[in-house]
């Protein structure tokens, strides 16, 4: 009988590009880069000028140094022979929803954290760590059988270690960290392997002579707290293999927003609309990575006198497309500016925000279940 909790973290391997390779088997084994829109890719390849950023790429393409969020033009320079494909979100969303449904069926509790990633609490379903490994192997086999895709799974007594473990042997990995081995497993890893530790925290820790998790585990907790407050205490616990955060079903994030301050205050409608459209694109990219759908779109305007207004509209149904996001944000700014034009006010900052979020998989299941009675899109 396992007394510790058994948590799985499942993360699909090179998700968007693996789906493309599945759909186009002739791409298997080749460097494949997914990113940008169809127009940008097709015209760009002719002119050698691709527009947009890399969403993801195959492991073969990663050998050339290509990675997510890199400009496509740079990826093209690194590997001109790679196959460049536009993002096909509707397809990836359908695949994601099916995979999340498979995972949900195997867990006491499941927490989807992005379009291709979830935590599963399987404590009541396995007898011991050997059984937990076999359980994770069965999940991998089922996803491969039903969807033709590989994933990596970390099995551990808590969420943080499970997440670190799923990344340990990627792609097609399976890493089991038993509760008794947690500190030993973590010790040699660099502190940046802890989810949430970025360059800033890494730098603070380096100044304290701490580079790997083992050093963090044996550091003086008072010193960490003095430098980093409560977060220092949490990091110390994590490094010692402790994290009692629960697998929480449902959507924790409430909203997503992006804003921009103009170099000079403006009332130029074309510039405002263009900025709103670009901010909507940025929000949309964050929605994709998070696997969210939205039901409320808002804008924020800060005037030259620093007065801030927000305007928002709740839609009748959940949406996940860029067109709706752009259209509603544009209508809101146009409406706001109609009144303002007459007063001759200038604008210092604009922002776009989506709220009333839900997770893609959850919503699609609900939509399928109630398709006959639910009114369609707003
Ligand atoms: P990740 O799980 O971060 O990456 P991945 O699945 O492509 O590769 P890995 O094997 O390392 O897990 O992200 C999941 C998907 O989210 C990814 O396939 C594409 C999308 N995505 C973006 O569109 N932009 C981004 O910047 C990132 C990080 C991901
Ligand atoms: Mg992934």
Residue 249 lies in a domain: no
Q: What atom in ligand 1 is closest to the CA of residue 87?
A: 23
- Can you give the C-alpha Rg of the chain in angstroms? 23
CATH of the domain at 209: 1.10.150.20
- Closest ligand 1 atom to residue 116 Cα is 14
Residue 363 lies in a domain: yes
- The answer to whether the CB of 32 falls within 8 A of the CB of 61 is yes
Does residue 175 carry a pLDDT above 50?
yes
Residue ending a domain, choose from 152, 178, 204: 178
- Report pLDDT for 124: 95
Q: How far is the CA of 225 from the centre of ligand 1 (A)?
A: 33
Q: What is the pLDDT of residues 339-359, one digit of tens each?
A: 777 678 899 999 999 999 887
Best mutation site among 31, 34, 54, 56 for ligand 1 pocket (most ligand atoms within 8 Å of CB) = 56
Q: Are residues 274 and 315 in the same domain?
A: yes
363 and 273 in one domain?
yes
User: Is 378 a domain residue?
Assistant: no
47 and 127 housed in the same domain: no
Ligand 1 mutation pick, 61, 87, 116, max ligand atoms within 8 A of CB: 116
Which residues are within 5 Å of ligand 2 (an ion), measured at CB?
Answer: 11-12, 15, 116
Does residue 112 share a domain with residue 66?
no
Res 2 pLDDT > 60: no
- What CATH number does residue 297 fall under? 3.30.1490.100
1 is a domain residue? no
Last residue of a domain, one of 89, 122, 141: 89
Predicted confidence at residue 343, as pLDDT, reads: 79
Residue 313 belongs to what domain range? 255-372
* Catalytically annotated residue among 20, 111, 117, 147: 117
Report the separation in Å between the CA atom of 313 and the middle of ligand 1, taken as the mean of its atom positions: 30
pLDDT at 377: 34
The stretch 302-314 carries a mean pLDDT of 95
7 lines ligand 1 (CB under 6 A): no
Q: Give the 3-state secondary structure of residue 352.
A: strand
Same domain, 68 and 133: no
**pLDDT at residue 361 in the model:** 52
Claim to verify: residue 352 and residue 275 sit in the same structural domain: yes
Identify the band that residue 3 occupies on the pLDDT scale cut at 50, 70 and 90. low
In the predicted model, what is the mean pLDDT of residues 63-74? 94
Q: What local confidence, expressed as pLDDT, does residue 251 receive? A: 64
193 and 291 in a common domain: no
Query: Can you tell me which atom of ligand 1 is nearest the CA of 54?
Result: 24
The domain boundary residue, chosen from 157, 178, 199: 178
Specify whether 139 is located in the same domain as 164. Answer: yes
Give the pLDDT band (50/70/90) at residue 363: very low
Q: pLDDT band at residue 369, thresholds of 50, 70 and 90?
A: very low
Residue 117 annotated in active site:
yes
Q: How far is C-alpha 218 from the chain's CA centre?
A: 32
Residue 247 lies in a domain: no
pTM score, whole prediction: 0.77
Among residues 275, 288, 256, the alpha carbon closest in space to that of 330 is found at 275
Give the rounded percent of residues in the chain with a pLDDT score beyond 90: 77
**Beta carbon of 67 within 6 Å of any ligand 1 atom:** no
User: Looking at residues 135-151, what average pLDDT do you find?
Assistant: 98
Is 303 domain-assigned? yes
Give the CATH number of the domain where residue 85 resides: 3.40.1170.60
Which tens digits make up the pLDDT trace of 224-271?
Answer: 999 999 999 999 999 999 999 999 887 667 899 999 999 999 999 999
**Is residue 81 located within the same domain as residue 119?**
no
Say if residue 216 is in the same domain as residue 302.
no
Whether 171 and 208 map to the same domain: the answer is no
- Report how far ligand 2's centroid is from the alpha carbon of 152 (Å): 8
Mean of the per-residue pLDDT values of the chain: 90
How far apart are the CA of 17 and the centre of ligand 1, in A?
9
- H or E element that contains 251: none
DSSP for 58-123 reads -HHHHTTT--TTSBHHHHHHH-TTSEEE---HHHHHHHHHHHHHHHHHT-SEEEEEETTEEEEE-G
Residue 377 maps to a domain: no
Same-domain status, 103 and 174: yes
Q: What is the mean pLDDT of residues 93-110?
A: 94
Chain CA centroid to CA 294, Å? 15
**Cα 312 to ligand 1 centroid, rounded to whole Å:** 30
> How many domains does one find in the chain?
4
In a domain, 191, yes or no: yes
14 lines ligand 1 (CB under 6 A): yes
Report pLDDT digits (tens) over 327-341: 999 999 999 998 777
Q: Is ligand 1 within 6 A of the CB of residue 166? A: no
């Amino acid at each position: 009988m396992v007394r510790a909790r058994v948590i799985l973290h499942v993360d699909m391997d090179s998700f968007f590009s693996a789906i493309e390779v599945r759909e186009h088997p002739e791409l298997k084994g080749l460097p494949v880069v997914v990113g940008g829109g169809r127009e940008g890719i097709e015209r760009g390849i002719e002119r050698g000028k691709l527009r947009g950023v890399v969403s993801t790429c195959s492991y073969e393409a990663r050998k050339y140094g290509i990675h997510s969020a890199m400009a496509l033009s740079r990826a093209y320079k690194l590997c001109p022979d790679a196959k460049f494909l536009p993002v096909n979100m509707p397809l990836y969303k359908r695949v994601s929803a099916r995979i999340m449904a498979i995972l949900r069926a195997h867990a006491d509790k499941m927490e989807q954290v992005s379009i291709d990633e979830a935590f599963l609490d399987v404590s009541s379903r396995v007898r011991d760590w050997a059984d937990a490994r076999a359980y994770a192997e069965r999940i991998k086999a089922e996803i491969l059988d039903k969807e033709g895709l590989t994933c990596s799974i970390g099995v551990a007594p808590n969420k943080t270690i499970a997440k670190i473990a799923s990344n340990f042997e990627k792609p097609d990995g399976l890493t089991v960290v038993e509760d008794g081995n947690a500190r030993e497993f973590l010790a040699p890893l660099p502190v940046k392997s802890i989810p949430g530790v970025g360059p800033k925290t890494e730098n603070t820790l380096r100044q304290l002579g701490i580079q790997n998790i083992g050093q963090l585990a044996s550091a003086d907790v008072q010193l960490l707290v003095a430098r980093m407050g409560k977060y220092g205490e949490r990091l110390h616990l994590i490094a010692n293999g402790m994290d009692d955060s629960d697998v929480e079903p449902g959507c924790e994030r409430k909203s997503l927003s992006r804003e921009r301050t103009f170099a000079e205050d403006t009332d130029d409608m074309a510039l405002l609309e263009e900025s709103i459209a670009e901010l909507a694109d940025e929000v949309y990219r964050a929605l994709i990575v998070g696997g969210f759908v939205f039901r409320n779109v808002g804008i924020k305007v800060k005037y030259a006198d620093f007065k801030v207004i927000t305007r928002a509209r709740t839609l009748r149904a959940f949406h996940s497309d860029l067109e709706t996001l752009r259209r509603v944000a544009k209508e809101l700014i146009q409406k706001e500016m109609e009144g303002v034009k007459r007063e001759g006010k200038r604008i210092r900052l604009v922002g776009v925000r989506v709220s009333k979020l839900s997770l893609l998989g959850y919503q699609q299941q609900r939509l399928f279940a109630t398709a006959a009675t639910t009114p369609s899109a707003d």
